[in-house]
Structure 1
Amino acid sequence: MEMITDGPTILLSGDFDVRSTMEVRTAIYERLEGHDEDVVVDLTEVTSIDLTALKVLAAATRQAARSGHHLTLRGCGPAVRRLLHLSHLIRVVEVERASASA
Structure 2
Amino acid sequence: MTDPTPRPDGHALSVSGRLDAQTASAFRAALSSHVAAHRGHLYLDLADVSFMDSSALAGVVATLKALRARGDELRLTGAGPAVRELLSLTMLDRVLPLREDMA
Q: Within the alignment, does 1:33 sit opposite 2:36 as a pair?
A: yes
- List alignment gaps of at least 5 residues for structure 1: none
Gaps of 5+ in 2: 6-10
Q: In structure 2, what is the Cα distance between the partners aligned to 1:52 and 1:92?
A: 18
Deviation at 1:76, TM superposition (A): 0.7
Q: Please, which of 88, 95, 98 is the counterpart of residue 98 of structure 2?
A: 95
Separation in structure 1 between the aligned mates of residue 4 and residue 62 of structure 2, nearest angstrom: 21
Q: Equivalent pairs: percent with the same residue?
A: 30
CA RMSD of aligned residues (A): 1.7
| CA offsets 1:51-92 (integer angstroms, 9 cap, x no match) | 211122122111110021111111111111111111122233
- The reply to whether residue 18 of structure 1 matches residue 18 of structure 2 is no
Mapped partners of 1:92, 1:55: distance in 2:
14
- TM-score, normalization by structure 1: 0.81
Number of residue pairs matched?
Answer: 96
Mean Cα deviation higher: 27-36 or 11-20: 27-36
2:8 matched to which residue of 1? Answer: none
